[in-house]
Amino acid sequence: MTGPVVRSQTADRLDGLGRAALVGYLPVGYPDVPTSVEAVRALIDNGADVVELGMPYTDPLMDGPVIQHAVDAALRGGVRVRDTLRAVEQVAGRGAPILVMTYWNLVLRYGVEAFARDLAAAGGAGLITPDLIPDEAGVWIDASDEHGLDRVFLVAPSSTPERLVSTAAACRGFVYAASTMGVTGERATLGSGAERLVADTRAAGAAHVCVGLGVSRPDQAAQVATYADGVIVGSALVRAVTEGVQDGTGLDALARTTAALADGVRSAVRPGVGSRS
């Protein structure tokens, strides 16, 4: 793919670490908008290197029950798309690029160009789009080039070699490798498929590949961090917030979970990549 050379906030951050990044997902508006902003700050302060900020959507078909429940609650609480842009403004500039994770209709409705403009103005790094493949993303590719935003598309174990090449070429920031066929959620084991997918995606031309879906424990994060550029965790963090909702300890639980995952990521030894930093 040829086009203007756009500097990537997220790729710069990944390159600067010299180790795998912890990429933490939280949805805006859960349990309410101010607390969710505090939660993102806690996430960054406790070791998340990149933030994936979810825009609640009525039909989150790539998400498992933990995240579905949280975004459903956020929507019932009245969260709006513009709350995400405000939240980005409030958490940007703390050292962790803020990528917004969104289903495509929300951006389409806002206006692709307008959303890109406002996200860039708020200090956001770019978008992760679980239901938008590069084949359908022409307007977004143009807008993200125009406004200097990252665009993270997904690859899956079922992706053909040709699609790995075209998706890697369309991404900026990193390629999101789905560790397994399925939706978000915590899993006991990740299997060897993720490592192979990362290797194949790199071979297809991707500069950075982060792994998501199913990673929830520090030992899993440490394992993934040996071969990926980033470890994406969502449901385990959301669950920490959920467990503390009733008694107000959600942020403490989130901080502990994040710190443990960050330790896991930092403990990983990455064969052959030490010379990069």
Binding site for another protein (CB under 8 A): 57-62, 64-65, 68-69, 72, 75, 80-81, 104-110, 130-133, 135-136, 153-160, 163, 167, 178, 181-183
Query: Residue 177: what residue type?
Result: A
Strand pairing class (98-101; 126-128): parallel
**Alpha-carbon gap, residue 69 to 57, rounded angstroms:** 11
Nearer to another protein, 135 or 252 (CB): 135
Residue nearer to another protein on the CB measure, 58 or 277:
58
Q: Say how far apart CA 251 and CA 253 lie, in whole Å.
A: 5
Question: Whole-number minimum distance, CB 133 to another protein, in Å?
Answer: 6
CA distance linking residue 60 with residue 271, whole number of Å: 37
Q: Considering 63, 150, 195, 200, which one is annotated as catalytic? A: 63
Identify which of residues 12 and 136 has a Cβ nearer to another protein in the complex.
136
Least Cβ distance, residue 192 to another protein (angstroms): 16
State the nearest-atom distance from the C-beta of 182 to another protein, in Å.
4
Question: In the complex, what is the shortest distance from the CB of residue 258 to another protein, in angstroms, rounded to a whole number?
Answer: 26
Rounded to the nearest 10 degrees, the angle between the axes of helix 250-267 and helix 218-225 is: 40
Is the separation of the CB atoms in 38 and 32 below 8 Å?
no
CB of 73 to another protein, least distance (A): 11
**Helix, strand or coil, per DSSP, at residue 226:** coil
Q: Indicate which residue of 15, 32, 49, 52 is catalytic.
A: 52
d(CA 203, CA 217): 28
Integer Cα distance of 190 and 213 in angstroms:
9
Beta bridge partners of 154: 176
Length of the chain: 277
Query: Shortest CA distance to 168 belongs to which of 209, 137, 227?
Result: 209
| Block residue for tokens 């290197």 | 49
Cβ proximity to another protein, 1 vs 269, nearer residue:
1
Task: For another protein, give the closer residue by CB, 46 or 115.
Answer: 115
Instruction: Please indicate whether residue 145 is annotated as part of the active site.
Output: no
C-beta of residue 208 within 8 angstroms of C-beta of residue 174? yes
Q: Which of residues 12 and 59 has its CB atom nearest to another protein in the complex? A: 59
63 is catalytic: yes
In the complex, least distance from residue 227 CB atom to another protein, rounded to whole angstroms:
20
Catalytic residues: 52, 63
